[in-house]
Amino acid sequence: MSKRKKPNKKMLEVYRMQKEYGCVLCKKLEARQTTHTEIHHLRKGMGMSQRGVMCIPLCVFHHREHGHGYHGLGRRAFEAKYNCTEEELLSAYEVGSDHYINWVSLS
């Protein structure tokens, strides 16, 4: 059993700011957010660690709800349903929140 590496202070601050911002997809869709905000980690490839990688704020509905959320639909279906990629949502977060994150410095 592997030990998970805890996020550093800089990454915890990113998580805090993103949670305060709220769901980036709700904002994009101009929808009222009805569930709390969680952190969605953007990963490429199989078996990659979630720590120290780019992330976006998503509400529970858009993060893991069956038939609606990223983990309930899968990447392709999520992107088709909402007509946007994870990277586009990250860009929308950075523009909307005025928080540009230097991801390289966080890892």
- pLDDT at position 86 is 93
- pLDDT at position 2 is 56
> How far is residue 82's CA from residue 63's CA, in Å, rounded to a whole number?
13
> How far is residue 48's CA from residue 80's CA, in Å, rounded to a whole number?
24
- pLDDT at position 47 is 55
- Beta carbons of 43 and 31 less than 8 angstroms apart: no
> How far is residue 19's CA from residue 57's CA, in Å, rounded to a whole number?
6
Encode the chain (107 residues) as per-residue pLDDT tens digits: 556 678 888 889 999 999 999 999 999 999 999 999 999 998 776 555 555 578 999 999 999 999 999 999 999 999 999 999 999 999 999 999 887 777 777 76
- pLDDT at position 10 is 87
- Sorted by sequence, the CB contacts under 8 Å of residue 43 that are 6+ apart come out as 50, 53
Residue 17 burial (CB count, 10 A)? 14
